[in-house]
Structure 1
């Protein structure tokens, strides 16, 4: 495969689309193109996009080792990276990112132009994830934006086997010159397309899909049925070689491993041993006692809940043949290289409050683990699913499922963002932009699939685009997201203040509409309720069996705004947020419920506190625009609380200090030390005594850090007072000063190179907004004089 593409990848600048089976060595094509870029240019950069952080991390590690000797720095920019990473991208030759992160960067094109203008090679991995509704639209819009804004951009996209790779080639388009022609003598308009079948996989893969009845529609019951069928599949397909089983959850993985160990014992008693167990001297000593029970049978499980040591021991045992069957969550589908002869995908649904189908991308990654070229001539993959999904997975396994666009499901947010990229544009621009999307490519071939609201009968794609554009503009105007103007006799449009907010805060249109409907003078409780209804949290559900736990937490005194009863996901979210802000040790409460519930809480809390500050900041800006001081004040306080994961008046604020976790926070609180100020006023030796830390100047460092937090002083003076018959005119001056403005004060930059901000909000007692300032500490200097009121 690589030799077929080599000349085009290295000797030309042509755009390329490659469709090939998983594990067929497609990544080498990217490396050839990077080598050409490094060989022919001095400053140009390559950008690699992958759908997950796991793939990005894997590629960063690999390419940093391969290209460092060529003086080609590699930098990773994902959701986990920060401003420091973006600064390092200036000197990097290879940038690795996710579409979501790069969308954020490119929406601020002028600010980041010093980096963006040097990107001349765009590498898209796993481009078939265009079909995924959560990640696909972002990639589709981003690629169109890069093609529009970067001159002479080369695009190379790699896909798993799909039947409509030609549609991807049409969408990517050609970067050929006018003199380049296709086989028919016409100017080239599509990317060079290379398609390869299963024969190009170094280790051919046999694929089987088994469907199972679920007449009651209860997937929990089906889970047990699937576990009971695994041993039969192993006996039929493993041929005495290693087996890797993917289960949807941690509990599913450990349960399946336990079932297999019991089945192993039963078959051994019947003198029908399915595989050879390891010798007692070869089994590892695990931290997890359950793994120690399974190890003598040659069975283990692997998930994020294991200790790092146990993970390493399990991986080594599987690679060295001391573990015959390994049951894992999807964590082993990407990153750790643990191929097996037989891969079993035990169920195709994930439980995320409700059962939902896994992403096709995840299924394909799991399938790619089947087959060990260094040991086997073939690999086997078995997909276990419900009867009603069998045909779908048969088609997917054969590469017969076409890629469809999902851009139409979130089109209004993306169109608004594109309008916001320009000072002004027209409806014609939006229609031309739509024609450049993968959505339009597929609309021309599968109209029935895209019966989009506002697009009419869609008998003609061109007519559909015009109707769709009109419908989008109607919605944008209806919600005051557009400004209309006339320039040189032409009708022009631009984003309104609200349109700019929607684009800059990266929130869904449904969430934004909810923020616009927040009543004037909203309280903290009202704002919290709206936050919990955000579309960004729509996948959070009440898990089977956890409602009682949340009702128990609801009754705690630390919950400020308890619902009457936990009946839905909104109630659960409200309690989750309040419990974290109050410093409630939720993990201890969930400990009795098992590992699955703890893991679910942790992942949901990470999602909520990653998204909440951004949503709330948007509400603050909406309130300021409306001069609604009460809502702006309460929303600003909630922004600060969710950012620091602590109520302002809660001892949980102590967690902002280094080395202060739940245990130390509780000890300090019981001693009457409940705020950063209390720590700053404390004796360092007393701190060491309370926390039993008498080494390395612990108390001194802790107190010094507390004293480095900004301590603001507000001074108010009346400079004019004049009485009238029916009112009093008063003019007041506000002066805000930084009391601890010495070298001890906290740096104006965070460790992640993000600026620290100070907000000055002035309202009347009735909630009328007088003034709002948000400025960096660097701008603040030593004193700020607010305007006279």
Structure 2
């Protein structure tokens, strides 16, 4: 980098240190650098207007192969050309294969119309419309589909949707019927809607719509074995279709092999790490186990992408785990539901629930402070709350009144309580014994915590019997 910057040229990609990237961006805006050779990441999120944009090749490596950039990505990159404060015109150059020239000429001129992709993920929308009561049978599904942009484009450009040129109304009707019947059958096969019309969503279908989960992801959740372990639940989360854009990139394999060896990884991968799902599992566990990026120059270049991928995973993960919980409740599987609830607590706290890392939920307690508390024998919230202010200050090498302020924050941490009372029982020979209980649920906090860390507090109550069946479940605030 140092050798070429002096010529007014620099390069920019995700492997660079964030400070180096910032320096390059600032230098370009200031006019100290005239040319930047970069990856497509610079086209997103960073405002660097320029006079000339050259896109060299229109494909990128995706899902194990070279794929064409989406039209919106191309327009985003071309949109960097133009500096209103300096120019009244700009230049965009696209270098592509000969067979793609006509496509990009239409794209740039605005003569290439936008096409619908509703038919590619119609099943997700059909499930939601059945839940809303809009679609109750094949005929109502066709009527609903006729009111969409997909139907407008189907009439205007039938060949794009694999309908023969010059097809008549009957052909359109038949295509719509085939699409709807196929997807409705898939929803029925997976117990997401009722078997016969008028169709209604099952509990599973409601969960899929409620949490905006994709159909392919939902099939994974439904494939979980009875009494699923936490590791099995984590495995299906990592395979979710919502994470399809997160790939194990070239050069990352050694990084995740090192992470897999860390103490904070509760469920290490026992096979060769070569799948995107392996990477996602380790991204999740690295956050819950406070695993730091391995030292070494070969790993340092992956720091930014590691944080970005982890952030993307956690932007989806809470709704995904809640969907899994609701699926297991619908199946009446208390063991799987309990394990999913325990994992949900860890994901919400971004720390393994049964580890000393739970202390990180308190403001001003980071990983260094957690280690100091652990060395002093304080490994959970109860022990921290029972500690004297002066002891806390001694452990963390802080001055008063740090200990008092920290304990005040610990006092705000939600501490639920539950008590059970037998109200009566009916045990007769030849009949199933019946026992009535009353569960009293509340908080031991002086004041009921409605919010913690700016998030609303809610409680899940699960009652089960020893054979793994659910007696009762409530989720309330």
TM class by smaller structure? 0.7 to 0.9
Q: How does 1:385-400 map to 2 (within 5 A)?
A: 385=96, 392-400=103-111
1:492 and 2:193 matched: no
**Correspondence for 2:234:** 528
CA displacement 1:227-283 (0-9 Å, x = unmatched): xxxxxxxxxxxxxxxxxxxxxxxxxxxxxxx4xxxxxxxxxxxxxxxxxxxxxxxxx
Match for 2:466 among 765, 778, 783?
Answer: 765
- Residue 298 of structure 2 is matched in structure 1 by 593
**Residue equivalent to 1:572:** 279
What's the counterpart of residue 208 of structure 2?
502
- Distance in 2 (CA, whole Å) between partners of 1:663 and 1:741 is 27
Distance in 2 of aligned mates of 1:387 and 1:680: 70
Distance, in Å, in 2 between the alignment partners of 1:538 and 1:353 is 8
Describe the shift of the 1:698–1:356 C-alpha distance in structure 2 as closer, same or farther (beyond 3 A). farther
2:150 corresponds to which residue? 439
User: Structure 2 matches for 1:314-353, cutoff 5 A?
Assistant: 314=24, 317-327=27-37, 330=40, 333=43, 337-350=47-60
The aligned counterpart of 2:122 is: 411
The equivalent of 1:381 in structure 2 is: 92
Mapped to 1, the partners of 2:334 and 2:9 lie a distance apart of 62
* Partner residue in 1 for 2:73: 362
Aligned to 1:427: 138
Q: Is the 8 A contact 1:352 1:540 kept in 2?
A: no
RMSD value, Cα:
3.3
Give the alignment partner of residue 268 of structure 2, picking from 546, 557, 562: 562
Contact 2:423 2:438 in 1 (8 A): no
Partner of 2:348: 643
1:149-160 equivalence runs, <5 A? none
Note if contact 1:404-1:442 (Cα within 8 Å) is conserved in structure 2: yes
Three-state SS of the structure 1 residue aligned to 2:298 is coil
Pairing 1:552–2:265 present: no
Q: Residue 450 of structure 2 is aligned with which of 745, 748, 755?
A: 748
1:625: Cα distance to partner? 1.7
Q: 1:302: Cα distance to partner? A: 5.8
2:17–2:301 Cα contact (<8 Å) kept = no
Give the SS at the match of 1:558: coil
Q: Do the aligned partners of 1:353 and 1:543 also contact (CA within 8 Å) in 2?
A: no
Deviation at 1:593, TM superposition (A): 2.5
Provide the rounded CA distance (Å) in 2 between the counterparts of 1:548 and 1:378: 47
Report the CA distance shift for 1:721/1:339 in structure 2 as closer, same or farther (over 3 A): closer
User: Do the aligned residues in 2 keep the contact of 1:710 with 1:738 (CA within 8 Å)?
Assistant: no
CA distance in 1: counterparts of 2:301 and 2:102, whole angstroms: 31
Which structure 2 residues correspond to residues 155-174 of structure 1 after superposition, within 5 A? none
2:221 is aligned with 1:515:
yes
For the 8 Å contact 1:609–1:645, the answer to whether it is kept is: no
> How many Å separate the matches in 1 of 2:201 and 2:148?
21
Shift of 1:632: 0.9
Query: Contact 2:417–2:443 at 8 Å: present in 1 too?
Result: yes
The answer to whether the Cα contact below 8 Å between 1:451 and 1:457 also exists between their aligned partners in 2 is no
- What secondary structure sits across from 1:444 in the alignment? helix
Higher-Rg member (1/2): 1
Residues in 1 aligned to 2:114 and 2:444: alpha-carbon distance in whole angstroms: 59
Structure 1 spans left out of the alignment, 5+ residues:
1-257, 259-289, 486-490, 777-789
Deviation at 1:306, TM superposition (A): 6.0
Distance 1:599 1:501 in 2: 34
State the alpha-carbon separation in 2 of the partners of residues 410 and 543 from structure 1: 27
- Candidates 579, 584, 588, aligned match of 2:291: 584
Q: Secondary structure at the match of 1:714?
A: strand
Q: Is the 8 A contact 1:484 1:492 kept in 2?
A: no
Distance 1:532 1:379, change over 3 A: same
Among candidates 689, 701, 704, match of residue 405 of structure 2: 701
The structure-2 alpha-carbon separation of the partners of 1:627 and 1:541, relative to structure 1 and needing over 3 Å to count, comes to same
- Contact 1:591–1:598 (Cα < 8 Å) also in 2: no
Aligned CA distance change for structure 1 residues 676 and 645 (closer, same or farther; 3 Å): same
Q: Partner of 2:175 in structure 1?
A: 464
TM-score (norm 1): 0.54
Q: CA deviation at 1:520?
A: 1.7
Contact 1:447 1:459 in 2 (8 A): no
- Equivalent residues, number: 471
2:204–2:330 CA contact under 8 A, matched in 1: no
Instruction: Please state whether the residue corresponding to 1:731 is helix, strand or coil.
Output: strand
Unaligned runs of 5+ in 2: none
